[in-house]
């Protein structure tokens, strides 16, 4: 006999409910304070111990003390009892404390509906496919526990309750789909202000080693697909923060001047569609160059193009967004003649990297570079990088105060930001305006469902310098030392985790296939569900024949569907009214069969009472019938059976034939 079979039904059902609650609360462990997770785990374990041992539940004062302690700890950790973080913390504690009051069905119902609310709070932090799947399992578990609570007789098996819960969920699925498709969206579908807190990604500042740390992250930064053929990898530069101020250690952005970005597009335009994951930046890393004329539009967001070609948002990108834009991979931008603003891009902090500055000034005075323009000086620096014995690595090691000196003249080991920063410092030392540009370069080698994936590991830094009469020109020193990084968009592979590393070592093709399959599924989830916007709702109505849909049309469609669903429900209820419980049908059938044999019983008589009447009416001749009725009583009220077994009737029919008719 299994452990579950030896337990009382109450203990088994309680442990099942506690397991479902634990599973529902598990994702919150990454967001609530550690004391909250520990307290919730202890309370659930305590409640399980009480259930298994059939021990009494704690008194009210114990619960009050725990609640007061939880409130004090919440205020201590969150500095408030209001707001999302404090509210979720208190909800987790209240959910677990309520399990210590499971004395009646009313208490169980409160726990069930608190559980459904906790399921919703998980989506305040993430709406990923993995979270959705785990919460779907939680909903099924809570429904199964609710079904068990409404089966007071016998010992119904968990499998039966789970099947009934799954059936109920499937019956409600059409309503869920209709609400998803037609309920008016008044803003972005998902996202809360703190949704992207703590995410890795590009930053508005750069210190040597910072981009390398981002490049160790294999998570997806964005997906992009093109109308027509994709551009070559060396043209896939996704422009992020432009860093022009240098204090010797950190590169930061300059304030935006009140000027319009000057962009001269050349060649054919490139239409593209992009899905951006949430980040901590108030900007969009779009394909270079995406000018204002072909710029994106995002519902609920205010965008503007800065003079340095950064697309600025009015707030950090805390939502997953989808946009369409037009880019030109061949372009010119910036002033053609010198302006006072360019002076800021020649400045270097005094006292930092003196040897690199001296080296650059000496290079500038060489006879072959006398009177050379900025483009010629940049080419000289690129030749130096290509021929100077430099190495490209994700782990160059820490650098000191004069990091550019140490990298440029001594160790010569660095990642892309080392090359870009040193290039800009050398150009400024030669009195050429220059700046660092960060973003992403390249994509995965193979598109998934037509979407090219750009990962955080594609994070990149390059340089721009100003050429009179032309404007700003891109220079990527990384291409001089590691051409495959730019020409193929191939980033350095980060160190894999334990599981991924093991699978990759045993079967690299399997590891790549599993990752691609998961990302394909995740992308379809993002496109079909998370990116289902108001515009796509209107497109659905147009496909249904509505010429100029608005939110009122959505409301009308929803009301019509609700009316149709209500009519269908009424029809189902009318049909179901004529149905009977299988047990009642069997009772009536047995009653008719006994009446034919001269045994009068009523619908109120159970199987055991009927057996006694059979013995009284038929004597020893009716013993087979009485034995069958007692067997039915055991089947009906015994462990593990809710409805009478179908195998019982043939034996009863045989006993009827033995008795015969009077």
Report the run of H or E that residue 337 belongs to, with start and end.
Answer: none
Average pLDDT over residues 153-164: 80
Q: What percentage of the chain carries pLDDT values higher than 90?
A: 14
Q: According to the model, what pLDDT value does residue 200 have?
A: 45
Average pLDDT over residues 112-139: 82
Q: What is the mean pLDDT of the chain?
A: 80
DSSP single-letter state for residue 477: T
Q: According to the model, what pLDDT value does residue 141 have?
A: 86
Per-residue pLDDT tens for 416-452? 888 999 999 999 999 999 999 999 988 888 888 788 9
Q: Is the peptide bond before 289 cis (omega within 30 degrees of 0)?
A: yes
Per-residue confidence at 192, pLDDT binned at 50, 70, 90? very low
Q: According to the model, what pLDDT value does residue 499 have?
A: 45
Average pLDDT over residues 273-281: 84
Please determine, for residue 378, whether its predicted confidence score (pLDDT) is greater than 60.
yes
Per-residue pLDDT tens for 600-646? 888 888 888 888 888 888 888 888 888 888 888 887 776 555 455 56
Q: According to the model, what pLDDT value does residue 198 have?
A: 40
Q: According to the model, what pLDDT value does residue 393 have?
A: 81
Which residue carries 């030749």 as its tokens? 383
Q: Are strands 286-287 and 263-266 parallel, antiparallel or unpaired?
A: unpaired
φ, ψ of residue 513 in degrees (nearest 5): -65, -40
Average pLDDT over residues 300-323: 85
Average pLDDT over residues 454-459: 86
Range from 191-200, 253-262, 350-359 that averages highest in pLDDT: 350-359
Q: Looking at the DSSP assignment, which residues form a beta bridge with residue 252?
A: 205, 245
Average pLDDT over residues 500-514: 58
Range from 203-207, 325-329, 490-494, 495-499 that averages highest in pLDDT: 325-329
Average pLDDT over residues 246-258: 83
Question: Sign of torsion, CA 212 218 220 222?
Answer: positive
Q: According to the model, what pLDDT value does residue 197 have?
A: 39
Q: According to the model, what pLDDT value does residue 199 have?
A: 46
Average pLDDT over residues 148-157: 75
**Residues contacting residue 316 through CB under 8 Å, at least 6 positions apart:** 196, 279, 280, 281, 282
How is residue 595 written in tokens?
A: 């009446």
Please determine, for residue 376, whether its predicted confidence score (pLDDT) is greater than 90.
yes
Strand, helix or coil for residue 459:
strand
Q: According to the model, what pLDDT value does residue 59 have?
A: 82
* CA nearest neighbour of 191 among 301, 312, 349, 272: 301
| 131 close to 27: Cβ distance less than 8 angstroms | yes
Please determine, for residue 354, whether its predicted confidence score (pLDDT) is greater than 90.
yes
Q: According to the model, what pLDDT value does residue 421 have?
A: 92
| 614 close to 629: Cβ distance less than 8 angstroms | yes
Each domain of the chain, given as residue ranges in start order, spans 3-182, 205-495, 502-563, 582-659
Please determine, for residue 282, whether its predicted confidence score (pLDDT) is greater than 60.
yes
Average pLDDT over residues 87-97: 85
Indicate which residues carry an active-site annotation.
416, 460, 476
Please determine, for residue 533, whether its predicted confidence score (pLDDT) is greater than 70.
no
Average pLDDT over residues 513-522: 69
Average pLDDT over residues 82-102: 83
Q: According to the model, what pLDDT value does residue 603 have?
A: 82
φ, ψ of residue 577 in degrees (nearest 5): -65, -30
| 422 close to 475: Cβ distance less than 8 angstroms | no
Per-residue confidence at 467, pLDDT binned at 50, 70, 90? very high
Please determine, for residue 189, whether its predicted confidence score (pLDDT) is greater than 50.
no
Per-residue confidence at 3, pLDDT binned at 50, 70, 90? low
Q: According to the model, what pLDDT value does residue 360 have?
A: 92
Q: According to the model, what pLDDT value does residue 48 have?
A: 87
Per-residue confidence at 191, pLDDT binned at 50, 70, 90? very low
Angle at 417 between CA 414 and CA 419, to 5 degrees: 60
Please determine, for residue 546, whether its predicted confidence score (pLDDT) is greater than 80.
no
């Amino acid at each position: 006999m299994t452990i579950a079979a030896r337990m009382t039904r109450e203990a088994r059902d309680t442990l099942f409910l506690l397991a479902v609650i634990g599973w529902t609360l598990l994702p919150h462990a990454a967001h609530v304070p550690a004391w909250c997770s520990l307290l919730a785990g202890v309370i659930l374990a305590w409640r399980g111990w009480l259930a298994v041992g059939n021990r009494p539940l704690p008194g009210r004062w114990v619960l009050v003390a725990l609640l007061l302690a939880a409130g004090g700890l919440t205020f201590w950790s969150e500095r408030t009892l209001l707001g999302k973080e404090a509210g979720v913390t208190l909800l987790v504690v209240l959910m677990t404390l309520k399990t210590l009051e499971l004395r009646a069905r009313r208490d169980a119902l409160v726990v069930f509906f608190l559980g459904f609310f906790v399921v919703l709070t998980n989506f305040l932090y993430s709406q990923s496919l993995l979270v959705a799947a785990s919460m779907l399992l939680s909903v099924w578990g809570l429904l199964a526990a609710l079904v068990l609570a409404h089966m007071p007789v016998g010992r119904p098996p968990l499998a039966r309750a789970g099947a009934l819960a799954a059936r109920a969920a499937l019956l409600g699925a059409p309503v869920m789909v209709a609400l998803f498709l037609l309920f008016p969206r008044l803003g972005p579908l998902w996202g809360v202000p703190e949704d992207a807190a703590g995410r890795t990604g590009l930053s508005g500042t750069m210190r040597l080693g910072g981009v390398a740390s981002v490049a160790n992250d294999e998570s997806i930064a964005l997906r992009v697909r093109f109308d027509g053929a994709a551009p070559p990898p060396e043209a896939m530069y996704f422009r992020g923060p432009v860093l022009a101020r240098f204090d010797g250690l950190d590169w930061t952005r300059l304030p935006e001047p009140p000027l319009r970005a000057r962009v001269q597009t050349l060649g054919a335009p490139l239409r593209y569609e992009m899905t951006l994951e949430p980040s901590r930046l108030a900007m969009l890393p779009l394909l270079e160059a995406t000018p204002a004329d072909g710029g994106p539009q995002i519902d609920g967001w205010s965008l503007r193009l800065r003079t340095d070609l950064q697309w600025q948002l009015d707030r950090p990108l805390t939502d997953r967004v989808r946009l369409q834009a037009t880019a030109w991979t061949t372009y010119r931008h910036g002033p053609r003649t010198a302006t006072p603003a360019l002076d800021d891009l020649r400045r270097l902090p005094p006292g930092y990297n003196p040897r690199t500055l001296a080296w650059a000034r000496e290079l500038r005075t060489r006879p072959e570079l006398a009177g050379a323009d900025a483009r010629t000086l940049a080419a000289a620096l690129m030749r130096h990088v290509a021929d100077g014995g430099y190495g490209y690595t994700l782990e160059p090691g820490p650098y000191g105060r004069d990091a550019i000196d140490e990298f440029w003249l001594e160790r010569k080991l660095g990642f892309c930001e080392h090359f870009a920063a040193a290039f800009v410092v050398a150009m400024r030392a030669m009195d050429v305006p220059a700046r660092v540009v960060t973003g992403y370069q390249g994509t995965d080698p193979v598109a998934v469902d037509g979407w090219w994936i750009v990962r955080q590991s594609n994070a990149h830094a390059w340089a721009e310098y100003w050429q009179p009469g032309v404007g700003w020109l891109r220079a990527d020193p990384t291409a001089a030392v590691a051409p495959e990084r730019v020409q193929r968009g191939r980033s350095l592979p980060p160190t894999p985790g334990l599981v991924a590393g093991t699978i990759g070592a045993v079967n690299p093709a399997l590891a790549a296939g599993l990752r691609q399959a998961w990302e394909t599924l995740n992308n379809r989830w993002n496109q079909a569900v998370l990116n289902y916007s108001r515009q796509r709702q209107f497109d659905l109505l147009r496909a249904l024949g509505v010429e100029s849909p608005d939110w009122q049309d959505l409301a009308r469609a929803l009301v019509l569907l609700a009316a149709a669903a209500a009519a269908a429900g009424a029809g189902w209820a009318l049909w179901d009214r004529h149905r009977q419980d299988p047990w009642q049908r069997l009772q009536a059938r047995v009653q008719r069969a006994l009446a034919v044999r001269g045994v009068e019983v009523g619908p109120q008589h159970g199987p055991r009472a009927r057996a006694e009447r059979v013995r009284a009416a038929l004597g020893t001749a009716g013993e087979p019938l009485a034995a069958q009725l007692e067997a039915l009583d055991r089947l009906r009220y015994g462990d593990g059976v809710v409805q009478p077994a179908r195998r019982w009737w043939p034996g009863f029919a045989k006993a009827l034939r033995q008795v015969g008719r009077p």
